[in-house]
Amino acid sequence: MSGRSGPKPPRSLERLVEWCLPSGLSGQSALGDLSEEFTRRSESTSRFRARVWYAAQASSIALHRAFRDPGVSPTGEGSDLGMDVRWSMRSMVRHPGSALGIVAVLGLGLGANVAVFSVVDGTLGDSSGWRDPERTVAVWPDNPFSLGQIDLYGREQAVYRSVGGYVELAFALGRADGESQSVNGVMITPALFAEFSRQPTLGRALNEEDGWLGAEPVVVLGHALWQRSFGGRQDVIASRVDIGGSPVTVVGVQAPGFAAPGGRAELWLPIVPDPRDDDFWKATSFTTIGALRTGASLEDAYLELMSFTDLLSDMFPMFYRRGFAEGLATVALADEEQRRLISTPLILLLAGTGLLMLVTALNVGNLLLGRSMERRRELSIRAALGAGRPRIVRQLLVEGLAYTIVAVVVGLVLAVVGGDAIASLFVEQAVVRVSPIAAPRVLLYSSGLAVLAWIVLNGVPVLHFLSGRGPLTGRPEGRSTGRSALVSAQAALATLLLVSASLLIATVGNLRDVPLGFSPEGIVAVELSTPQDRVSTPADGRDLYDALVAGVAGLPG
């Protein structure tokens, strides 16, 4: 109790409170806290408002004493968990400002971390989307094969269960308004695509019949392209689209996140080889991919590749001398693809959001510590009414869980929006992909952050309550060493983040000043995808580009 002098509560109400409270130190401490608060309110507002407040407190204590369940023990240990939940909800409603601050700060930290992690997981965690990346091998990735060589290698080898090839191209996809857009796509042997394709969202994957001579031209769309250019329509299957000036039938829509091979593909067309065509052996532009058999290793694949290069030397001595492939090796596609992705910036971004989460935890800790000191009288009254330390700790734990659930919901909503926003920055390149929130690794990461948030939300008030400065001791708060430590840690982290941001800005500025060897002023780079119906021979291509260059040269400016 405080010895502070000043206005005193009405004697009748004070006697009522004294009668309802248990005898002993805890009851006297609660009575003194109420009297001290009455004095403070009388001086800061008015005597009338202070009396109204005291009457409300006295009525609440009396009603609690009169209608308390007789089956509940005096310490409150037998109370129903639902009572703690309702108390937590009322506490959030009574303190909307602090509740909103805690939920907003924690939800923002959780959302930013989960959003960035979903992008990192979708981009780096599963290569470019192959169904079995660890068993997927790039056969001699530095030397493209012809379709004839791929066919020959597939028949001669024994370590792969399937071998095929692909080539990455830019395609002109016709739109409903008559214009066209450039889309990254892949021409791939259907058997290879069927081997590694995931279960499509709609329709089917490419199959072996799609690669037969005379088969109907078909295409499989990427999920992002389907959403962006076709509005996610279910009736897109069996519809005809214009690709490179030719009508093609849509037979499937791939699952979200699948962009193999290369990590940029948004549509897939089957390769239709013709052994009678000279290009069947001469056009060496196809990357060869194989699926290792069970028990086969990269070393086995390398030895077999060396035998195949000897066969090429015997068949094509004018192109391949014996021993020309010494020192080359097969490469696991998972490693090959990851080298092509923007791993370093994403990892740095994830580290930055990790620091943001740490600052968020410190901010929430400060908010909760300040609120714990403000609630000293409230908890003191509950202790005086018979609630022991375990009972109050349980109430604090349930309250922290309620805050955590609300913050996690807010964070997941922000994560979905944030992940899509990051991916939209790279929509043309399709390099960055977003794992769904329900993906196993993202779900595990989100759960870990939720547990961390719950520990922070519970740890600060519970430790403060049990530290000897809680309501049961009646000791003054004094200066909080824990709060000072939190403030110091926040200042240190803020300084670190400011220095890091300054260095990053300076680095970006230096990169902009790197001499290019020419002046980029007034220079525009244009990438074209020519329709097949307009360019069928090399002469047609030269005529088209000559006309384009002449037309651009005649433009003013």
Tokens 């040269």 found at:
553
349 and 411 assigned to the same domain:
yes
Residues 347, 331 share a domain:
no
Residue 250 binned pLDDT confidence (cut-offs 50, 70, 90): very high
Are 326 and 386 in a shared domain? no
Q: How confident is the model at residue 45 (pLDDT cuts 50, 70, 90)?
A: confident
Q: Are residues 319 and 172 in the same domain?
A: yes
**Mean pLDDT of the residues in the chain:** 74
Rg (the chain; Cα; Å): 35
Q: Which whole number is the average pLDDT over 436-442?
A: 71
3-state SS assignment for residue 380: helix
- How many Å apart are CA 343 and CA 349, to the nearest integer? 10
Note down the domain range covering 203: 129-338
176 lies in some domain: yes
Give tens-digit pLDDT for 151-161.
888 888 888 88
pLDDT in tens, 210-222: 989 889 999 999 9
In a domain, 407, yes or no: yes
In a domain, 112, yes or no: no
**Which pairing describes strands 160-174 and 287-292: parallel, antiparallel, or unpaired?**
antiparallel
545 domain residue, yes or no: no
pLDDT tens-digit readout, 333-349: 554 444 455 666 677 77
- With CA atoms as reference, report the closest residue to 171 among 161, 160, 159, 185: 185
CA atoms lying within 13 Å on the CB side of residue 27 = 14
Distance of alpha carbon 222 from alpha carbon 135, whole angstroms: 23
More confident residue, 169 or 531: 169
Q: Looking at the structure, do residues 347 and 333 belong to the same domain, yes or no?
A: no
**Residues 25 and 171 occupy one common structural domain:** no
Is the per-residue pLDDT at 422 higher than 50? yes
359 phi/psi in degrees, rounded to 5:
-65, -40
549 occurs within a structural domain: no
**What is the rounded average pLDDT of the residues 4-15?**
76
Q: Do 396 and 289 belong together in one domain?
A: no
- d(CA 100, CA 107) in angstroms, rounded, equals 10
Contact 368, 461 (CB under 8 A): yes
Question: Does 523 map to a domain?
Answer: no
Residue 42, domain member (yes or no) = yes
Q: Give the pLDDT of residue 219.
A: 94
Please state which of the ranges 31-40, 196-205, 341-350 shows the lowest mean pLDDT: 341-350
CB 323 within 8 A of CB 418: no
Compute φ and ψ for 253, nearest 5 degrees: -125, 125
pLDDT at 252: 93
Q: Determine, yes or no, domain membership for 260.
A: yes
pTM of the predicted protein model = 0.49
d(CA 105, CA 117): 19
* Count of domains observed in the chain: 3
Q: Which token pair is 223?
A: 């999920």
